[in-house]
Structure 1
């Protein structure tokens, strides 16, 4: 491909959010492969950084001399900032240009990763993580948009598959990578590993997507919308991050955040509905397929977050696994997910997106029902087998559903639609994460009370168990402590089964809801129409 073609592509794909001179020329060959690799790497490190710190909190807290509860601000500061930045992506890309915004976000994300790695003070680290989260916001939706604009129309499902692989696999391998780095090096390296990857992605994208000219739109700044968005989304994400540890609405802080979020988001919806140049384009929801697909994929990711949160918690708190080995137990999910992402990308254009998505949800429902019957005597092999199979369902619902979501979106609104759908997907996953831990604890308390009622001196099973303890030299206070631990362990095992069962039922409902949509056949091939 000539340099003039590359410039034309960059101008059409990146500056102004829509083609400026007719059809968008597609990139092919080695240039396309290199660009795809660079975009995928940028997406991978952004998503990875949202999960890699989960297992590093104790090491960071110990290294910087703060408590573990304070250490979680390293996670929440990033997630709050990213949640604010993602929905702004569509508006920013119309003013700055998609290419300029993306490459700027990548290099700034890389530089803030360096600052996080060298931060020697906890408060400085939190500030750097906040800046890193703000820079990360545009990276995922714009990587998706640029891939779709760059690939030939008949290969856009492959583009979505490649993008989906990075988005889906990074959270799975994040805890494993984080645990390995913490065990073998030190916590700053979870940030410093971003440097070579980020610089490579920046260099390739700058070379192959060189912008020309100026953005074609200079819309007035929706200052009121931006302020309401920042306050509403920031308050909501902070409430979700801090709610469980603070006791939810028993805390005046959480109650205040909830009120602020409700008032700001409610005002935002009213304001944006009448704004000529809104920061969040609510007109996208007038399309039935976009609305239902966003709802389904958001609820689907909420169910997936139950697996991503409760499963490793159960392994560590109930089954006695270390953080690293719990990560290894979740990693098999990515094996078949990787294989089927490629297969779905190659062949999904031949199928109705609703059929594929329904199949994915049914696989999820079956595996989660299987998980709901786990016991305390499960071996490692028995535990990882359902997750291996679950990897089939993940790309089958995520890739065609993402394609269906954008299949009827006009080209000039593609970046706005991508950022809005990614924002709601991420926010739903945050809801799922926050709610699942609280619900898990509540169900465990319920089962503890139920099981404890049967542990009495008159119970033959209790008497036999106590006699066995006496035979091992356990009596008195140690006997009561052991009984409490056994009942609590069983209660959390039953609560884990409840969570998986509810997620299984949710997936069945989503499989049925998929047929309320009307995606274009070969949905991804029509993107950017």
Structure 2
């Protein structure tokens, strides 16, 4: 973080002036405390993207709305956050990085409390919308402040701690949300943010007092802001509802897609030439930023899509409840928790491209291993597959952050963090929409293919129906039992298709890594 502050001084002629004083960088316990505080702020924001998912039926029921209406609790948050994230660079220049982070965390905590206190559904959706809006800067600022607070030689450790929170929080969210909902009451999924938020605000404001970045009162790029809201808002809303609406068979999806394309196209063109852009799209002129961000976005799209489909399969096909399905996929983060610091401490010794290559390879291997699962797979077998898939996480997020930030310094780090995190979040939304649709359609396809062979005269069909008859089942019960088995087989086969696709895409990404320039260690500069 900036180690320069401004103090009042008195000139010899008696006039007051401003003098810039160099502050020593944070070290030891102070730096460790700042790391914990910024990591927790990031963790809290990312956690809230998934912790409410499993509680939607409970919340909807308690407020007298349908489960479909209840999904607005999720979509309102993600829609507002998607718009706010890319504004981080511009807002930090207007407000200051430290002040903006403290303000974001404070308001996020306040709206978390209001979400828990909401007495009707419309109030809850409104507070979730505001919670998402103020949360936008928290993740990119957490990354930027960590990087700017560590010396260049130890910046890899900063990225390791940041990456751990980004990866672990979405995995922990459904498990924690399911446990809290079942054992307490749904408002507590929001109230748990209060002690975390209070600790973060106190720690950051105390440790970074007098270390804020300089404020520049740039004019508001109103037209760029309009294009951003139209383009990103339409795209995010379309992605969240496209599967339910039938994708491009729906006029609503087609209209939203057209608005998104027009808005984003005009946004890029306008921001490229504007002197004070709300989103600095000119960062893509930096080769490693462009390649690194593209790999991170595509990789996270595939990773997150896979992470969404697995619990869906476990709950709808394998009969797991929300808590146990979350528990079954949770080992994906275990390796990252313990090995991320090792990667961070040693990434300055190797070309980061080889670490990313290793990460993509491990993702591909883990997806392939999970594709060996069968409908009678035990929970331990599923957890092992998820653990192996998670081996690639520390080799993916941490080194790619180094590639993305290579050669950037000062305010450019904050702008790059906002831009890259926006695309990463968008990748997650695309992965969810596309992979869930793919899984649903492949399930329907396999179901139809399996049913083709189920008819009288087929020896296996006749033998199975005879067994059910001998057990005393009537005709309707026999067909229901048979349909249940077909559904389970079709859902499992669709899941395997997704895993095959995941493995194949990660193998393809392995060959794209070397489009980036060689990078040894976290070499971004952090001075202001």
TM-score of the superposed pair, with normalisation by structure 2: 0.94
Structure 1 pair 11–477 and aligned structure 2 pair: CA distance change class (3 A):
farther
Alpha-carbon deviations, 1:53-104, whole Å to 9, x = none?
0100011001111100010000000000000000000111111111111111
Match of 1:208 in 2: 207
Match of 1:226 in 2: 225
Q: How does 1:169-188 map to 2 (within 5 A)?
A: 169-188=168-187
Structure 1 pair 7–267 and aligned structure 2 pair: CA distance change class (3 A):
closer
The 8 Å contact of residues 407 and 519 in structure 1, kept in 2 or not, is answered as no
Indicate yes or no: 2:418 matched with 1:419: yes
Match of 2:3 in 1: 8
Measure, in 1, the Cα distance between the counterparts of 2:250 and 2:381: 41
Cα deviation for residue 481 of structure 1 reads: 2.1
Alpha-carbon deviations, 1:193-234, whole Å to 9, x = none?
100110110011011112468834222211000011011111
The 8 Å contact of residues 336 and 391 in structure 1, kept in 2 or not, is answered as yes
Cα deviation for residue 357 of structure 1 reads: 0.8
Q: How does 1:289-438 map to 2 (within 5 A)?
A: 289-438=288-437
Alpha-carbon deviations, 1:323-378, whole Å to 9, x = none?
10001101111211101112111212111111111111111101101112211111
Measure, in 2, the Cα distance between the counterparts of 1:386 and 1:472: 36
Structure 1 pair 88–334 and aligned structure 2 pair: CA distance change class (3 A):
same
The 8 Å contact of residues 9 and 150 in structure 1, kept in 2 or not, is answered as no
The 8 Å contact of residues 9 and 209 in structure 1, kept in 2 or not, is answered as no
SS at match of 2:509: helix
The 8 Å contact of residues 52 and 174 in structure 2, kept in 1 or not, is answered as yes
Indicate yes or no: 2:431 matched with 1:454: no
Measure, in 2, the Cα distance between the counterparts of 1:458 and 1:21: 90
SS at match of 1:52: coil
Measure, in 2, the Cα distance between the counterparts of 1:287 and 1:246: 39
Structure 1 pair 213–435 and aligned structure 2 pair: CA distance change class (3 A):
closer
Measure, in 2, the Cα distance between the counterparts of 1:169 and 1:412: 27
SS at match of 2:3: helix
SS at match of 2:511: helix
Structure 1 pair 513–221 and aligned structure 2 pair: CA distance change class (3 A):
same
Alpha-carbon deviations, 1:490-526, whole Å to 9, x = none?
111110000010010111111111111114311x143
Match of 2:268 in 1: 269
Measure, in 2, the Cα distance between the counterparts of 1:284 and 1:401: 16
SS at match of 2:355: helix
Measure, in 2, the Cα distance between the counterparts of 1:238 and 1:434: 11
Measure, in 1, the Cα distance between the counterparts of 2:415 and 2:288: 16
Measure, in 1, the Cα distance between the counterparts of 2:253 and 2:372: 35
- Give the total of aligned pairs: 516
- Structure 2, unaligned runs of 5 or more: 8-18
Measure, in 2, the Cα distance between the counterparts of 1:34 and 1:270: 42
* Structure 1 residue ranges (4+ consecutive) displaced by more than 6 angstroms after TM superposition: 20-24
Match of 1:136 in 2: 135
Moved more, 448-457 or 362-371: 448-457
What is the RMSD of the two structures over their aligned residues, measured on CA atoms?
1.9
Measure, in 1, the Cα distance between the counterparts of 2:22 and 2:513: 32
Measure, in 1, the Cα distance between the counterparts of 2:410 and 2:212: 19
Measure, in 1, the Cα distance between the counterparts of 2:327 and 2:70: 24
Match of 2:258 in 1: 259
Measure, in 1, the Cα distance between the counterparts of 2:508 and 2:471: 50
Indicate yes or no: 2:522 matched with 1:527: no
Match of 1:3 in 2: none
- Structure 1, unaligned runs of 5 or more: 1-5, 13-19
The 8 Å contact of residues 27 and 152 in structure 1, kept in 2 or not, is answered as no
Match of 1:16 in 2: none
Measure, in 2, the Cα distance between the counterparts of 1:236 and 1:66: 26
Measure, in 2, the Cα distance between the counterparts of 1:340 and 1:462: 50
Alpha-carbon deviations, 1:291-350, whole Å to 9, x = none?
111111111111111221110011111111111000110111121110111211121211
SS at match of 1:495: helix
Structure 1 pair 47–361 and aligned structure 2 pair: CA distance change class (3 A):
same
Measure, in 2, the Cα distance between the counterparts of 1:213 and 1:397: 31
SS at match of 2:52: helix
Match of 1:126 in 2: 125
Match of 2:516 in 1: 517
The 8 Å contact of residues 409 and 524 in structure 2, kept in 1 or not, is answered as no
Match of 2:101 in 1: 102
Cα deviation for residue 389 of structure 1 reads: 2.2
Match of 1:152 in 2: 151
The 8 Å contact of residues 115 and 128 in structure 2, kept in 1 or not, is answered as yes
The 8 Å contact of residues 157 and 403 in structure 1, kept in 2 or not, is answered as yes
Alpha-carbon deviations, 1:162-203, whole Å to 9, x = none?
111111100111001001100111000000110011011001
Moved more, 120-129 or 272-281: 272-281
